[in-house]
Amino acid sequence: MYKVRVRDRVMIAHSFRGEVFGPAQRLHGATYLVDVEFRRPELDPDGIVVDIGRAHEVLAETLRAIAFRNLDEMPEFAGVNTTTEYLARWIWETIRAAIREGRLGPHAGGLVSLEVELAESDVAWAAFEGPLP
């Protein structure tokens, strides 16, 4: 399996509902290191997994939508605990939509899976991985 990974960062603010979150129930900030890995069994006709430049642009665009925002105030996250796991899935779905729209190039339809990993620190991270149709 061939893989290409791109990376970016995003800073957000949010709070959580539920006793399990302890002091994180209060508004707090988080800075995530975001890695997105694209996978395919064979290289495309250009000899690549995906256009790295386009992949990085799509990731940056995705993160701009939430950067320096209080996620509690965004309608798309109303009533949701925007945990690291949840955000990994949200980023995955947003990038999957970009692939379907052709924004990662004409051969990105050959990608078979995508993984999004968010690192909260050097010792804690969460990810979402799923197949691409």
- Domains of the chain in start order, with CATH, are 2-131 (3.30.479.10)
* Helix or strand holding residue 113 (H, E): strand 113-119
Q: What is d(CA 4, CA 2) in angstroms, rounded to the nearest whole number? A: 7
69-113: pLDDT as tens digits = 999 999 999 999 999 999 999 999 999 999 999 999 999 999 999
CA distance 16 to 2: 37
pLDDT band with cut points at 50, 70 and 90 for residue 133:
confident
Q: Residue 86: which of 54, 56, 118 has the closest Cα?
A: 118
Measured CA to CA, the distance from residue 127 to residue 34 in angstroms comes to 9
Instruction: Tell me the pLDDT of the chain averaged across its residues.
Output: 97
DSSP state of 107: T
Q: Which two tokens stand for residue 5?
A: 């990974």
- Of 12, 100, 128, the residue nearest 63 (C-alpha): 12
